[in-house]
Amino acid sequence: MTYAETHPGSAIPPPYAQPQGFLPCPDQDGDGSQSTPCGSAGVSVIGWLPWEDLRLQPLRDGAGECLWYAVSGNYKNNPKVSLTSDTDGQFVVKDAGGNTVAGADPSGSDRAIAIVFAPGPPIDPPGPPPSQFRAPGSALGETQCASTDSAGAINQAVNYLETLSNGTVSINNSNGTEPASGSGLAAGASLPSNPSTFLSAPNVADTSRNPVINDTLVVITPRDFAPVYERMDRWVANRVRQCLTTSFSVPYFWAAALGGGGSTAPYSQDTGERFGRIPEAPNPTATDPDPNVGGVCFKDVGGAADRGGGGGGTLGAKWYFMRLMTLLPPWPLGGPHPLGSAERPANFWSSSLSASLLDSKETRPLTEQT
């Protein structure tokens, strides 16, 4: 997960850029470098593993073949979509018996984020012609793994990744379809299905012991991404805390109750709530002129000024409105709430804000005490 942890998530310069979370596009000609942009926003793509961008030497399997790679459209780095630690992957993985290895949850929360394929040697049933022909299609320049000829056989997924239809499953690994349909794709092409389904079933043979599929898959799941999610969440919590500290003249407001009016649009404050989500709209009064706490502060972390997360932002502002929580100072029960107070302690947020994000992928709390 080094790439996702260390590469900026947006072109916005620090400190506003989302610092990590995205994965590289596939390589379409086997030279080791990702080919960007790759497909349309949100659409998954398949191609060669971009080992150069991962700062690796060319990686090959036991048959000497370079590795293939598929990345979910929600996680690829160009073009980007809003990405949070609750963003679902777009791949389902099954075995030869039809059992779901990744993506069994109907909500999609455990779908795979990316897959690396070791294609193995060509599978050629008895008699001509060969079914997996891996040669450059023209005199165009050969690369470390393939060729600059995008139409050449050496760049076609179907010549590396197989289909299995055994009466239990019907999956085409060269294009991610279930039931298997269509032909394979050229490296760098967009996958036709969402979610796409792949088969993890190396070394399956027919009744005559002829190999049918020999693809070995390494599946990257949300659980594997946990360290990246934590860094994403902590960064957002810190950015919002800084915004609350510096952007509002009178930043006193009630929290949005977890099960109350603040749990749905417009995520407004609930009178008397000292723990809950940071409200988007704290119902400003004459003594509290600041119009939109959440909108301003979530725009500051790359989302839009509304809950939709649009406006070119790289973060899902709506998700963070629903997850970021604040613990207000322990004023005496029944005592006056300082809404509209002319002053605030200089260290109000730095000493009193507990930004807690619920990582629903792992159903565990993430707490940043500041």
Distance CA 140, CA 119 (A): 24
70 has pLDDT over 90: yes
- Kindly state the tokens that stand for 341: 């107070």
38 has pLDDT over 80: yes
Higher pLDDT, 82 or 158: 158
Q: With bands split at pLDDT 50, 70 and 90, how would you rate the model's confidence at 365?
A: very low
Q: With bands split at pLDDT 50, 70 and 90, how would you rate the model's confidence at 84?
A: confident
The pLDDT of residue 206 is 86
The pLDDT of residue 296 is 57
Distance CA 370, CA 356 (A): 11
1 has pLDDT over 60: no
The pLDDT of residue 353 is 42
Distance CA 102, CA 332 (A): 50
51 has pLDDT over 90: yes
Higher pLDDT, 350 or 188: 188
Q: With bands split at pLDDT 50, 70 and 90, how would you rate the model's confidence at 249?
A: low
Task: Identify the helix (H) or strand (E) that includes residue 320.
Answer: helix 317-323
207 has pLDDT over 90: no
How confident is the model over 135-185, as pLDDT tens digits?
776 656 889 999 998 888 999 999 999 999 999 999 999 999 999 998 889
Distance CA 43, CA 72 (A): 7
Distance CA 278, CA 356 (A): 11
Q: With bands split at pLDDT 50, 70 and 90, how would you rate the model's confidence at 186?
A: very high
210 has pLDDT over 70: yes
The pLDDT of residue 316 is 42
- Kindly state the tokens that stand for 163: 């289909």
How confident is the model over 252-288, as pLDDT tens digits?
566 666 665 444 555 566 776 666 666 665 444 434 4
Higher pLDDT, 238 or 24: 24
What percent of the chain clears pLDDT 70, i.e. is strictly above it? 56
Average pLDDT, the chain: 73
What predicted TM-score, i.e. pTM, was given to this entire model? 0.77
User: Is the separation of the CB atoms in 44 and 175 below 8 Å?
Assistant: no
The pLDDT of residue 52 is 95
Burial of residue 202 (number of CB atoms within 10 Å: 0-12, 13-18, 19+): middle
Of 199, 200, 214, which is closest to residue 160 (Cα–Cα)?
214
Of 315, 313, 309, 327, which is closest to residue 365 (Cα–Cα)?
327
Distance CA 277, CA 195 (A): 32
Higher pLDDT, 288 or 2: 2
Q: With bands split at pLDDT 50, 70 and 90, how would you rate the model's confidence at 129?
A: low
Distance CA 161, CA 199 (A): 10
Helix (H, G, I), strand (E, B) or coil at 154: helix
The pLDDT of residue 258 is 63
List the beta bridge partners of residue 359: 364
Q: Out of 5-14, 46-55, 195-204, 344-353, pick the least confident.
A: 344-353
Secondary-structure breakdown of the chain: helix, strand, coil percentages, each rounded to the nearest 5:
15, 20, 65
- Kindly state the tokens that stand for 357: 């994000």
Q: Out of 50-64, 147-161, 205-219, 355-369, pick the least confident.
A: 355-369
What percent of the chain clears pLDDT 90, i.e. is strictly above it? 42
How confident is the model over 107-126, as pLDDT tens digits?
898 999 999 999 999 997 65
